[in-house]
Amino acid sequence: MSDPVSTIRNLGPASVALYARAGIHSAEELRALGPDEAYRRLRASGRRPHFIGYYAMVMGLQGRPWNDCRGEEKAALRARFDAICAETRGSTDPALGALEAVLNEIGVIERRR
């Protein structure tokens, strides 16, 4: 039997539903994917960007409290987070994400920033 996502430090019972919607059903799956790919999947499932949620997951996967992230380490995580958000922009609405991305590309609708 697999451990639920909520067994990872900083991720509570509410996280189980968020990660399940992204196709991640266990702590083992989350660890195997790593934080960046897991966050890409969360974004693709409709999750809006949330930096604290991202770095809380990163810290949790390292067995650290969420508020242990500071200084240069936090700045580096922010850069990774921003890169993930930039590459997944348009995927916050699963029903429209792919279509909106194409329409943005060809200039039919205004790009969101």
CATH number at residue 35: 1.10.150.20
Range of the domain at 56: 5-88
Let me know if residue 61 belongs to a domain: yes
Enumerate residues 6+ apart whose C-beta is below 8 A from 69.
55, 58, 59, 77
Residue at 62 is within a domain: yes
Classify residue 94: in a domain, yes or no. no
Give pLDDT, residue 7.
96
Q: Residue 99 domain-assigned?
A: no
- On whether residue 44 sits in a domain, the answer given is yes
Q: Which pLDDT score is estimated for 1?
A: 72
CA dihedral 105, 109, 110, 113 (to 10 degrees): -60
Domains in the chain, number = 1
| pLDDT tens, per residue, the chain with 113 residues | 789 999 999 999 989 999 999 999 999 999 999 999 999 999 999 888 899 999 999 999 999 999 999 999 999 999 999 999 998 876 544 445 556 556 656 666 555 54
Q: State the pLDDT at residue 88.
A: 85
77 in a domain, yes or no? yes
64 found inside a domain: yes
The pTM for the full model equals 0.76
> 41 in a domain, yes or no?
yes
Assign 96 to helix, strand or coil. coil
Q: What is the pLDDT of residue 110?
A: 53
